[in-house]
Amino acid sequence: MAKETVEVDGQFFEIPDDVDPNKLELFKEYCKLKVEWERMDRTFKVDDKVTLNFPRVRKKDLEYIKDQPEKVQREINKKRKEVQSHLVRMMHAKSRITKKSKKEVRDELEDMSSELIELFGRDYSVAEVHKILKDRNINIAYPVLLRFAKRNDDKIKELRSKWREEIDDVSISIKRSRLEKLNLLLNDLLQHYEDATPLNKLSYSKEIRGILEQARKEIEGEELKLTVTGRIDIEATISSYLNESQILRDLTIHQMVISRVATRLGIPSMAIIERLANSFYSSFNGFKPNNDLSTKILYPSATNYDILELEEKNKQFESKQFEPVATEIKHKQTKERVTNARTKMNKKLEELLERTDKVKKETKK
């Protein structure tokens, strides 16, 4: 369907779809000013070196104008004002064509309210919605959209929460759809790779290898394969879940309990295991080898105790400082280091004294 046109000074102009029929005269006025603008001589020749092109004048030309006679400067300013005046009239005429009344803006917002709320609900910002509308030749000012978004804030938040939760309708959220898109990209890149020059084949091959790797990940899911290639070929598969028969078959219950207790106490688990290995029941608690399983355990409760003797032993025990095995070993190592350092220091002092005495004797001689 042919678009309507208007004739102005022998030139034909197509009437845009967004021009209101009531503003046709304004559009003709704008076209007339545009024709005059194109025919206008917007240059000013200062001399053989410099010619000014209005309305945009280069910075170095402005510096050059300052050195010209006052009469030349007045003519330049007159020409500049003439060009700027015509440009302002033309821009003003265009704004009158596109400018909408408040009632027109309200009506347009009311007609598009559901569509605008949907766009904002899909997590588009005000700037993004403004650009989308502009691409559709819908001119709604940014401040108007901003006020609209604030007025409908509750509806937009409700839609956004639903939009963020529901991803089933997004094609790339489905594995098969992702693989199909990767396959389309691969076919397209393979064609480009075949037609490419030897210099560009490397960049295409990188993209193709990236798509193949992405497809491999899509097919294998969360499975991770580690491959070491060399003198020995190893393939290990780590699943996203633990196989109880493989992981726990060599782990005893008492080892799990001791590890948890040691973690809570903040001490090495080997300190507790060493205590248990040297305890009264070390032959029967599994921490020390015991081949004689027929031996009957003699429990401490079967023994008659002397209370006074126990109190005396308890006093002697309390007089000594109790420390975990790991701490005792650490203190022992520290003590050995201090002793070695002290021995080395004493040896150095003795050598120094010997050298001092020797020097004194030689000085007396």
Residue 130 to residues 102, 118, 133, 139, 161, Cα–Cα distance (Å)? 18, 14, 5, 8, 22
Residues 213 and 184 in one domain: yes
Write the DSSP string, 47-107.
SSS-EEESS---HHHHHHHHTS-HHHHHHHHHHHHHHHHHHHHHHHHHHHHH---HHHHHH
Number of other CB atoms surrounding residue 30 within 10 Å: 24
Boundaries of domain holding 13: 5-98
pLDDT for 234: 40
Which DSSP helix (H) or strand (E) runs through 234? strand 234-238
| 136/180 same-domain check | no
Query: What local confidence, expressed as pLDDT, does residue 233 receive?
Result: 40
Quick one: pLDDT at residue 7? 74
pLDDT, residue 1, reads 44
323 falls within a domain: no
Please tell me the predicted confidence (pLDDT) of residue 331: 61
Residue 158 and residue 138 share a domain: yes
Residue 268 domain-assigned (yes or no): yes
Q: Are both 78 and 109 inside the same structural domain?
A: no
- In angstroms, the CA 223 to CA 336 distance is 52
DSSP 235-298: EEEE-SS--HHHHSTT--HHHHHHHHHHHHHTS-HHHHHHHHHTSTTTTTSSSS----TTSPP-
Residue 279 lies in a domain: yes
Query: Domain check: are 108 and 121 in the same one?
Result: yes
Same domain, 35 and 87: yes
Pick the last residue of a domain from 115, 150, 166. Answer: 166
Q: What is the three-class DSSP state of 230?
A: coil
Decide: helix, strand or coil at residue 306.
coil
Note whether 66 and 25 are same-domain residues: yes
266 and 285: one domain? yes
Domain boundary among 166, 181, 206: 166
**Whether residues 11 and 92 fall in one domain:** yes
Mean pLDDT in each 10-residue stretch from start to end of the chain (365 residues)?
67 73 78 85 83 81 81 86 87 74 69 86 88 83 87 89 77 80 88 85 87 84 48 43 50 74 82 78 67 63 75 74 53 71 82 81 70
350 part of a folded domain: no
Which of the listed residues 166, 186, 218 is the one where a domain comes to its end? 166
| pLDDT recorded at residue 309 | 82
C-alpha to C-alpha distance for 8 and 36, rounded to whole angstroms: 10
Say what the pLDDT of residue 93 is: 80
pLDDT of residue 226: 46
In a domain, 328, yes or no: no
In a domain, 243, yes or no: no
Query: Are 10 and 92 part of one and the same domain?
Result: yes
What is the predicted pLDDT for the residue at 237?
47
Task: Check residue 297 and give its pLDDT.
Answer: 65
d(CA 154, CA 235): 55
Please tell me the total count of domains within the chain.
4
Has residue 155 been placed in a domain? Answer: yes
Report which residue type is found at 173: S
Torsions phi, psi for 8 (to 5 deg)? -135, 115
3-class SS shares of the chain: helix, strand, coil, % to 5: 65, 5, 30
Residue at 358 is within a domain = no
